[in-house]
Amino acid sequence: MPAAGTENLPPELREAWEHVLERWNDDDTHKRFIALCSVTGRLDCAGSTYRRVRDTQPARADDAEARIRAICELALQGLMHTRSSPQATGPRKIFYLALGVASTLILYALWVFL
């Protein structure tokens, strides 16, 4: 029988979360669960399960809050890796192209009037 509150978890995470609940004081079990959620792209599930514990089990609330902060940091790190950096060469190419066209037109105008 699945643990209460695991109904919304994907099957591959449900068993891992039940393992966390059985071994709540084992730090490595928490780390493995969060890593599994990260690898499967389901950090949202990790956050919601720990939030449910924080909101319903006062004795575990502080530990669950610490796990939620760790999950948020991991998610932010993932976002930082996927963020694209601005292309510094794009605007420079346009500037030099415009400068070249303007210089050519000025030289042509001088040649015509002289």
107: which 2 tokens?
A: 């030289």
Indicate the pTM of the whole model.
0.67
Taking the CA atoms of residue 45, residue 51, residue 56 and residue 59 in that order, the dihedral angle to the nearest 10 degrees is 120
Query: Residue 106: its pLDDT value, please?
Result: 86
How many other C-beta atoms can be found within 10 angstroms of the C-beta atom of residue 71?
22
- pLDDT class for 1, splitting at 50, 70, 90? very low
